[in-house]
A and B are shown apart, each in its own frame.
Chain A
Amino acid sequence: MSGTKKETGFTFTIDGIEVTAYAGQTIMEAADEAGVYIPRLCDHEGLRHQGSCRVCTVKAGGRSVAACTQPAAPGQAVENETPHLTKMRRDLVEMLFHEGNHLCPICEASGNCELQAMAYRLDMTEATKFPYLEPCRALDASHPDIALDTNRCISCGRCIRASQDVDGKGIFGYVGRGIHRRVAVNGENLADTDAEVTDHAISAEVCPVGCIIRKRVGFAVPIGEREFDKGLIGHDIEEKRK
Chain B
Amino acid sequence: MSELPKARIATASLAGCFGCHMAILDIDERLIDLMKLVDVDRSPLTDKKRFTQRCDIGIIEGGCCNEENVHVLHDFRRNCDVLIALGQCAIMGGLPAMRNAIMHSDAPLRECLDEAYITGKYIRNTTHNVPNDPALPLLLDEVYPCSQVVEIDYQIPGCAPTGDIIFDTLSKLLTGKFRGFERDMIKFD
Interfacial residues, chain A to chain B (CB-CB below 8 A): 97, 101, 103-107, 110-111, 116, 119-121, 123, 125-128, 131-132, 134-139, 151, 223, 229, 232
Say which residue of B103, B154, B188 sits within 8 Å of A104 (CB atoms): B188
Complex CA gap A136/B94 in Å reads 16
Q: Write the nearest CB–CB distance from B82 to chain A, whole angstroms.
A: 12
Number of A-B contacts (CB under 8 A): 82
Interface presence of B148 (CB below 8 A): yes
Q: B112 to chain A: closest CB distance in Å?
A: 13
Question: Which residue of the partner chain, among A126, A132, A135, contacts B92 with CB atoms under 8 Å?
Answer: A132
Main secondary structure of the interface of A (DSSP, over half): loop
Q: Assuming A103-B97, A104-B88, A110-B189, is B102 touching A125 (CB within 8 A)? A: no
Measured between C-beta atoms, what is the minimum distance from A219 to chain B in Å?
12
What is the CB-to-nearest-CB distance from A76 to chain B, in angstroms, rounded to a whole number?
A: 30
Assess whether A105 is in contact with B188, with CB atoms less than 8 Å apart. Answer: yes
Given the interface pairs A110-B188, A125-B157, the reply to whether A103 lies near B92 with Cβ below 8 Å is yes
CB < 8 Å: which of A105, A119, A131, A138 contacts B103? A138
Choice from B97, B154, B188 contacting A119 with Cβ under 8 Å: B188
Once the chains are docked, how many angstroms separate the CA of A223 from the CA of B95? 17
User: How far does the alpha carbon of A120 sit from the alpha carbon of B152 in the complex, in Å?
Assistant: 20
What residues of A have a CB within 8 angstroms of the CB of B142 in the complex?
134
Most chain B CB within a 10 A radius of its CB, from A103, A131, A139, A223: A103
Q: Looking at the complex, which of B33-41, B72-80, B132-140, B179-187 is the stretch in contact with chain A? A: B179-187
Instruction: Give 1 or 0 for each of B8-27: 1 = CB within 8 Å of chain A CB.
Output: 00000000000000000000
Rounded to whole angstroms, the CA-CA distance of A137 and B186 in the bound complex is 28
Is B109 on the interface with A (CB-CB < 8 A)? no
Which residues from B are CB-within-8-Å of A135? 101
> CB within 8 Å of A: which of B42-94?
85, 88, 91-94
Q: Which residue of B lies closest to A98 (CB)?
A: B92
Residues of B within 8 A of A106 (CB): 95, 98
Rounded to whole angstroms, the CA-CA distance of A136 and B101 in the bound complex is 5
CB–CB A126/B98 < 8 A: no
